[in-house]
Amino acid sequence: MANTLLMPKATAIWLVDNTSLSFKQIAEFCGLHELEVSAIADGEAAQGIKGVDPVLTGQLTREEIERAQKDPNHKLRLAEPKVRIPVAKKRKGPRYTPVSRRQDRPNAILWLVRNHPELKDAAIMRLVGTTKATIASIRERTHWNAANLTPMDPVTLGLCSQIDLDMEVQAAAKDRPPELAEGPRLLSPEESVGYTAPTDPAGDELDPDAIFAKLKSMRGENVSSED
């Protein structure tokens, strides 16, 4: 059964406006003082708050309201929730690693260091539950078992989930400076067709305008000779 009423003042406003329940009944149900409910009814308190129907929110039934209206001594009871939501437990401190998996942590750290160098030590600590000193020793190859370490995916080892790893990688990528693209570039006309501008015997490049002018003059001479 639900133990806490959501939005008690808003619920009290609705009950005052839409039912004939006594101030005491509303105060006990909403966890308020009876004088506070009286002030709400007089418009002296909770101004600007919109009333919330507890029936629509599933916290109270019509039958329960009618029963309480008929019996001033009846105390309202919260309705049974239709959907039970498990309470999520917040993890405090570093991730706990089972004893059987702790020997795999150096291998996972080595995999993360090699495949995701953008990850900071804090992110690696969150993923595999290790210490900064251990990460530093693996980065610098000073770990006592460095010669026998093998890079292994922490997800495969069961040290973290793929979602956690992806989130850490994406967060680290945002802080990384953009890399310059070194893809293929467009070739110049000379490079694409292998064209080289002709040169005169003196070694100087020929003037294209002079060449076209000469061609026009030669064409004019041919036309006049045909006439």
**Residue 107 confidence (pLDDT) above 50:** yes
User: Other CB atoms closer than 10 Å to residue 33's CB: what's the count?
Assistant: 11
Phi-psi region of 135 (alpha: psi -120 to 50; beta: other; left: phi over 0): alpha
pLDDT at position 197: 53
pLDDT tens across 33-64, in order? Answer: 999 999 988 888 877 788 889 988 888 899 99
Q: What is the DSSP letter of 199?
A: B
pLDDT at position 58: 86
pLDDT at position 104: 86
For residues 1-18, give the mean pLDDT.
81
Coil vs helix vs strand at 10: helix
Give 147's Cβ-side CA count (13 Å radius).
Answer: 1
Structure tokens at 148: 């026998």
For the question of whether the overall pTM of this predicted structure is more than 0.75, the answer is no
Task: Print the SS3 string covering 177-196.
Answer: CCCCCCCCCCCCHHHHHCCC
Contacts of 158 (CB under 8 A, 6+ apart): 101
pLDDT tens across 123-160, in order? Answer: 999 999 888 999 999 999 999 988 899 999 988 888 88
Q: Which of 47, 50, 51 is nearest to 15 (CA)?
A: 51
